[in-house]
Structure 1
Amino acid sequence: MTHRFFWTMAFVLLCAVTARAGGDEVKIYREPVAFAPFQTEYVKLLSVEQLSSTDSRFGGLSGLVKTPGGYLSVSDRGVLFTFEGERFDRARLIPLRGGNGKLLKGKRRKDSESLALAPDGSLYISFERNHRVVRYARDGSVREDILSFGKEEQALVPNHGIEALEILRDGTLLLVVEGQVSHPFTAVWLVKDGQSKRFDLPLKDGFRPTGVVRLPQTDNFVLLERYYKPLLDVKARLSYLNVSADSVTRGAVLAEFSSPTPVDNFEGIAAHEDTQGRLILSVLSDDNFSLFQRTLLLRILLK
């Protein structure tokens, strides 16, 4: 074997290993979407972008959290997306595993819907169909199953589970169920130290919860809701959500988005302060891996 052949083969092998190591990274294309000026007493729409990729694994993004280094999201197929920085131009993909260490299999097990970031960097992720909330390490491995619904699980129908998940500053978990249009209320749980307390949150005007975010350095919350009638209309609404140990109630409606403002199946919401000290909401849509839907990212100023 000549030295040239040896080093050529070594280079090829190195490239193959590098490609394999980077195979879980997805390139994302960002396209500005035109929109008419939109603002209310509480918010102002700053930008709208469509995110897309040639990688078939991109899509179905159902939750969003801000991290010190970027953002995290989960997909309907049980995959954790790590976005570095603010640009959403590439993402690292990490498949979620079960308690046995094996990759999740089947739609009933993989349908992750929301996530929340704990102070220690671990993640709480909610799943529907097989309804549960699981605590994960950032590598996709299970830290602990944290919530067993027992009889409460009977309140959750297969495709209407825990769509919104957040953490209070004292470590209490806030869980909000999507609910059914035909019901006047949906369920909300506060969970801490293995104890849970349930509240009923009224559903209004055909909207149902899909996301919730705690505003930085506070226990003030913004609730994201969706209105959807197949082939007829889709809308989104932002409202304050008042949360205490003894009650969960609705606050002021901040904005309602509908055509001609670009709207899709918004399910993820995150909040952060920018370099100017402004409070910015990022709202992300789940395209359901459908040719007829888009992954839209809205940036909204909270006044």
Structure 2
Amino acid sequence: MRRTVRLALLAVIAAGLAPGTWLRGPGLVEDLRPILRMEPLAGASRQAGEIMIEGVWHLTSPNSHFHGYSGLVALPDGTLLAVSDRGRWLRFTPPGRNGPDPQFGVIGGEAISDKRQVDAEAATIDLPTGRLWIAYEGANSVDRHDLSLRDPERILPEGMQSWLGNRGPEAMARLADGRFIILGEGSPEWAGEGYPALLFEGDPVDGAESVSFAFVPPKPYRATDMAALPDGRVLILLRAIEGVIPPRFSARLLIADPAAIRAGGQWRGVEVARFGLDLPTDNFEGLAVEPRADGALTLWLISDDNGAALQRTLLYRLRWTPDTRPADTQKARPASPARLSE
């Protein structure tokens, strides 16, 4: 049934390619004005599980690079960087802060029409160095950039080359110790249960070795983004399709411990929040985490509007103070992928 719903939604989106129906069409003249409007949505502040929703904004822009954001990172200067599945980027100052005007651009500096090469679905950053990694679904690749987002170094990790079609990397996080986790969209039950995933012992662009495992979210959810937490765990954003016309989505946040990953094993998380249809929701695909001075965390969520007239680019600001680790997650960190595979 869930597969039928997803196929129906894809049919609706495909139908939108006809002019004047569902999808926003590109203008005849490219608009490069640095305009970003952030309209607050009233009545959205409330508690969601362990998390407090502090605000929700509807983002709009006439800029031709706007739309389709599927990855989000928090930068050291307090701005947010969103990357899109059209190979574009948006750097902006979030609501409630003073900062630079929004900037729009093309990842790599050159527009490419082949979506398989520019379908950026996940991003992660090393704050001390400013190095940024972006994972591409169609190409099953990982690029490394500096904050100019030009002149990337690219690698096609061997473990991702079996992630065929539109089922490549969807979520990626760089851990504080330099390891990387990448979760694929894949097919459910690809190896008995769950979605394909890789744990790299270091930077994949430098050729670090990896081990494979299965990420098992609650059905019918899929991972769409992931961010490392200060305590070594990761927060995983999940999304499910709940309706077709108009498309409606629900989302959840899970916390999971990389120390529990085992080669060939299954990896699960614990739910900390859910965002149902009683909230302004959309196709949430981007997650960023920022520590606060009082020990709490600011979480940012951004949605991918798919360029569709029936969808929106929403931005959530959340406040969360994580609980201490459950006893069953206090496991020693494996020393290396070689140890994991024993």
**1:123 alignment partner AA:** L
1:96 to 107, 120, 127: 107
> Secondary structure in 1 aligned to 2:71?
coil
> Secondary structure in 2 aligned to 1:26?
coil
Count of residue pairs brought into register by the alignment: 275
Q: Which has the higher strand share?
A: 1
1:133 lines up with 2:133 in the alignment:
no
Q: Based on CA coordinates, which of the two structures has the bigger radius of gyration?
A: 1
Could you say which residue in structure 2 is the equivalent of 1:224? 237
**1:42 alignment partner AA:** E
> Secondary structure in 1 aligned to 2:113?
coil
Structure 1: state its 5+ residue gaps: 1-22
1:243 lines up with 2:258 in the alignment:
yes
Structure 2: state its 5+ residue gaps: 1-30, 203-207, 322-342
Could you say which residue in structure 2 is the equivalent of 1:175? 182
Q: Are the structure 2 counterparts of residues 24 and 200 from structure 1 closer, same or farther at C-alpha, using a change threshold of 3 Å?
A: same
Q: Are the structure 2 counterparts of residues 40 and 110 from structure 1 closer, same or farther at C-alpha, using a change threshold of 3 Å?
A: closer
**1:83 alignment partner AA:** F
Deviations 1:4-45 (A, max 9, x none): xxxxxxxxxxxxxxxxxxx86621111111235532451111
CA RMSD of aligned residues (A): 2.4
Q: How does 1:192-207 map to 2 (within 5 A)?
A: 192-193=201-202, 194-207=208-221
Deviations 1:179-217 (A, max 9, x none): 3357531011111342011111123220000011112x3
CA distance, structure 2, for counterparts of residue 287 and residue 102 of structure 1? 23
CA distance, structure 2, for counterparts of residue 85 and residue 65 of structure 1? 12
CA distance, structure 2, for counterparts of residue 81 and residue 53 of structure 1? 11
**1:244 alignment partner AA:** A
* 1:85 positional shift: 5.7
1:106 to 101, 108, 114: 114
1:300 lines up with 2:323 in the alignment:
no
Deviations 1:74-124 (A, max 9, x none): 011111222246559942123123xxx854331111111111112411110
1:159 to 144, 163, 166: 166
TM-score, normalising length from structure 2?
0.73
CA distance, structure 2, for counterparts of residue 86 and residue 174 of structure 1? 30
> Secondary structure in 2 aligned to 1:139?
coil
**2:228 alignment partner AA:** R
CA distance, structure 2, for counterparts of residue 245 and residue 145 of structure 1? 29
TM-score, normalising length from structure 1?
0.82
